[in-house]
Amino acid sequence: MNGAARGNYLDVLQWLHDHGTESCTQDAVDGAASNGHVAVMRWLIAHCSENCWLSRAALENAAANGQLDAVKWLYKQHIQSSASEWIASGAMDRAASGGHLNVVVWFHNRRPEFGSCTTAALDGAATNGHLEMVKWLHANRREGGTYRAMDGAAAGGHLEVMMFLYVHRSDGCTSDAAVNAALNEHVEVVQWLLQHYPQQAHHEKVRMFAARYNYSLLQQANRVVPVY
- The structure's pTM equals 0.83
Q: Is residue 141 in some structural domain?
A: no
| Cα radius of gyration rounded to whole Å, the chain | 23
Supply the pLDDT for residue 161.
Answer: 99
Question: Of 14, 29, 53, which residue is a domain's last?
Answer: 53
Supply the pLDDT for residue 86.
Answer: 57
Q: Which tens digit of pLDDT belongs to each residue from 21-45?
A: 667 778 888 888 999 999 988 988 8
Domain residues for the domain of 8 are: 1-53
Supply the pLDDT for residue 84.
Answer: 58
Q: Is residue 215 in some structural domain?
A: yes
Supply the pLDDT for residue 226.
Answer: 45
Burial of 68-98, coded b for 16+ CB within 10 Å and e otherwise, reads bebbebbbebbeeeeebbebbbbbbbbbbbb
Helix axes 56-64, 84-97, angle to 10 degrees: 30
* Domain count along the chain: 2
Q: Is residue 135 in some structural domain?
A: no
Q: Is residue 198 in some structural domain?
A: yes
Q: Is residue 195 in some structural domain?
A: yes
Supply the pLDDT for residue 227.
Answer: 40
Supply the pLDDT for residue 65.
Answer: 97
Residue 173 phi/psi, 5-degree rounding, is -155, 175
Q: Is residue 46 in some structural domain?
A: yes
Which residues neighbour 66 within 8 Å (Cβ) at sequence distance 6 or greater?
95, 98, 100, 102, 103
Supply the pLDDT for residue 164.
Answer: 99
Q: Is residue 38 in some structural domain?
A: yes
Burial of 30-48, coded b for 16+ CB within 10 Å and e otherwise, reads bbbbbbbbbebbebbeeeb
- Segments of the chain with pLDDT less than 70: 1-2, 4-5, 9, 21-22, 49-52, 79-87, 111-115, 201-203, 210-228
Question: Of 53, 72, 97, which residue is a domain's last?
Answer: 53
Supply the pLDDT for residue 166.
Answer: 98
Q: Is residue 221 in some structural domain?
A: yes
Report the CATH number at residue 225. 1.25.40
